[in-house]
Each structure stands twice: as structure tokens, then as C-alpha cells.
């Protein structure tokens, strides 16, 4: 199993550009989520999904869109990037047990 | 909503010594899960230890142990015999149990950077 994979690992965008951060898992997990990590603030939940076709907002959803057309994939879209979205982004998937939370390697995004 | 607070932005310890990282949280739920995650410079999030709130016994994983004080809503991490490889950012995190409003969603503290000196 590859676990949770994220692409790209690094990305630089200009203000106003759009892009999609990719996330995939091969563990057949129903629950997937996106977090952003900022200095002094820990990780904060952006969006999550409890299964294909079902998504919901987390703590900091503004400026981000998600969709879940398959169990495996959960992409995060930035429609018009802003400098405030400069951060490290983590995708995670969760198995049935309460302790089974698997994180991807993260994407460092810089918006200039 | 739950909140998690780590009041120590940075800590340092000498190799082979013991260090304790603090975490407090606020919740109105009676049952929940608490976690400590380690994030080394590689950025990978690694689960260190976990605690179920309904268990009175403190969790232990090798050199890592917790002091869980439910009434005080405190969940500290003790690292014994510190090693250079323990140098990392450590996050405390909260999750509701199945059926709870925040099941599956982790609420993280701000993190504590731990440096182990040789």
C-alpha cells in the first residue's frame, strides 16, 4: 500500500492563479480530510468527506473547494490564490478505528 | 467546539534526560480521544501515543507516557531518556468518539518545538 499520497510536494503560485492539490489513498477509507498548517496555529481543518459524494466544511473553508467523486481521491481546489493561503497542506484519511488516521507527506504552497 | 492549547512554543532537553510537554483542552464531552503527534523536519505526521478519556490508566508507549488529568482537562507528554531523534515539533490533538460531533476531525494545539541537545 502506498498509503496517502499528495502531489505536488512544493508549489509557488501568483496571486489570483488557480490550482488543485491532489490527494489519493489506497486503503479504501471512507473518511478523508484536508488540513493546513501555519506557524503558531497548529493544523486546522479545511474540508472533510465521510464518503464519495459527501463533503463538508471544516474550521477554515473559505477560498477552498473540494469534491469526492471516488473513495480514493479527494482533491483540494484553490480558485483564486491569495497570499493568506501560503501554508503547508496535509491530506489525511481515516480508517474505521479511532486511531487510524493517516497523513500524507504534505504540500508546501507559497502564494506571491 | 473543542479547543486545545499548548503553552510552550519551544522546549529543550539534554540527551538521556526527561522532558514533559504540556497540553490543556476544553470540551463539554465526557468521552473523547487525545493524541500526541510528532512532526520531524521531514514534515511527516507520526502518531506517538493516544488516550481514551474513559480509561483512567495513563497510556505508555516505550519511552513515551502521558499524564492524563480528566477533571483538569490536562494531557501532558513525558519523554524519558531523550534521544537526538526525538527532536521535532509535537502536537497535542483531540477527537470526539464515534457519534460525536467531531468524530474523525482532529483539533490540534499550536505545537511545541522540542530540541534534544547532545
Q: Which three cell numbers stand for residue B12?
A: 529543550
Cβ pairs bridging A and B (under 8 Å): 51
**Average pLDDT, integer, range A4-17:** 97
Q: Check pLDDT > 80 for residue B98.
A: no
**Average pLDDT, integer, range A73-91:** 97
The minimum CA-CA distance between B17 and chain A, rounded to whole Å, is 26
Contact in structure between B109 and B21 (CB atoms under 8 Å): no
CA B4, B108, B16, B86: dihedral to nearest 10 degrees?
Answer: -170
Q: Which of A41, A58, A90 sits opposite B45 (nearest CB)?
A: A90
B110 contacts A41? CB cut-off 8 A: yes
Q: Which of B44, B98, B111 sits opposite A42 (nearest CB)?
A: B111
**Rounded Cα distance, A90 and B56, in Å:** 32
Q: Check pLDDT > 70 for residue B3.
A: yes
Q: Check pLDDT > 70 for residue B74.
A: yes
Q: Check pLDDT > 70 for residue A87.
A: yes
Q: Check pLDDT > 70 for residue B100.
A: no
Query: What's the pLDDT score for residue A11?
Result: 97
Residue of B nearest to A6 (CA): B44
Q: Which three cell numbers stand for residue B110?
A: 499550536
Residue window 35-94, chain A: list those with CB within 8 Å of chain B.
35, 40-45, 48, 50, 58, 88, 90, 92, 94
The minimum CA-CA distance between A58 and chain B, rounded to whole Å, is 8
Q: Which three cell numbers stand for residue A83?
A: 497570499
Among A66-80, A93-107, B14-28, B55-69, the least confident range:
A93-107
The minimum CA-CA distance between B83 and chain A, rounded to whole Å, is 24
Task: Kindly report, residue by residue over A39-80, the tens digit of the pLDDT.
Answer: 888 999 999 999 999 999 999 999 999 999 999 999 999 999
Instruction: Give A29's DSSP letter.
Output: -
Q: Which of B33, B42, B105 sits opposite A48 (nearest CB)?
A: B105
Contact in structure between A81 and A18 (CB atoms under 8 Å): yes
Q: What percent of chain B has pLDDT over 90?
A: 86
**Average pLDDT, integer, range A86-98:** 91
Residue of A nearest to B1 (CA): A59
Q: Check pLDDT > 80 for residue A91.
A: yes
Q: Check pLDDT > 70 for residue B43.
A: yes
Q: Which residues contact A4 (CB under 8 A, 6 or more apart)?
A: A23, A24, A25, A27, A91, A92, A93, A102, A103, A104
Q: Which of B43, B104, B110 sits opposite A40 (nearest CB)?
A: B110
Contacts of B40 in chain A (CB under 8 A): none
How does residue B2 score in pLDDT terms, banded at 50, 70 and 90?
confident
Amino acid at each position: 500500500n502506498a498509503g496517502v499520497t499528495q502531489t505536488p510536494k512544493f508549489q509557488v503560485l501568483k496571486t489570483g492563479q488557480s490550482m488543485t492539490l491532489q490527494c489519493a489513498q489506497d486503503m479504501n477509507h471512507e473518511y478523508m480530510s484536508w488540513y493546513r498548517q501555519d506557524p503558531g496555529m497548529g493544523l486546522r481543518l479545511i474540508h472533510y468527506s465521510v464518503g464519495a459524494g459527501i463533503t463538508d466544511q471544516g474550521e477554515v473553508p473559505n477560498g477552498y473547494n473540494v469534491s469526492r467523486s471516488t473513495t480514493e481521491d479527494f482533491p483540494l481546489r484553490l480558485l483564486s490564490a491569495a497570499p493568506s493561503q501560503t501554508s503547508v497542506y496535509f491530506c489525511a484519511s481515516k480508517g474505521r478505528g479511532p486511531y487510524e488516521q493517516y497523513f500524507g507527506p504534505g504540500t508546501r504552497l507559497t502564494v506571491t | 467546539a473543542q479547543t486545545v492549547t499548548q503553552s510552550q512554543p519551544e522546549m529543550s532537553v539534554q540527551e538521556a534526560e526527561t522532558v514533559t510537554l504540556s497540553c490543556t483542552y476544553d470540551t463539554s464531552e465526557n468521552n473523547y480521544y487525545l493524541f500526541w503527534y510528532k512532526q520531524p523536519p521531514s514534515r511527516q505526521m507520526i502518531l506517538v501515543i493516544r488516550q481514551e478519556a474513559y480509561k483512567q490508566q495513563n497510556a505508555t508507549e516505550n519511552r513515551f507516557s502521558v499524564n492524563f488529568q480528566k477533571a483538569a482537562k490536562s494531557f501532558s507528554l513525558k519523554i524519558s531518556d531523550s534521544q537526538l531523534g526525538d527532536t521535532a515539533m509535537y502536537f497535542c490533538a483531540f477527537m470526539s468518539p464515534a457519534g460525536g460531533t467531531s468524530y474523525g476531525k482532529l483539533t490540534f494545539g499550536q505545537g511545541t518545538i522540542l530540541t534534544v541537545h547532545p
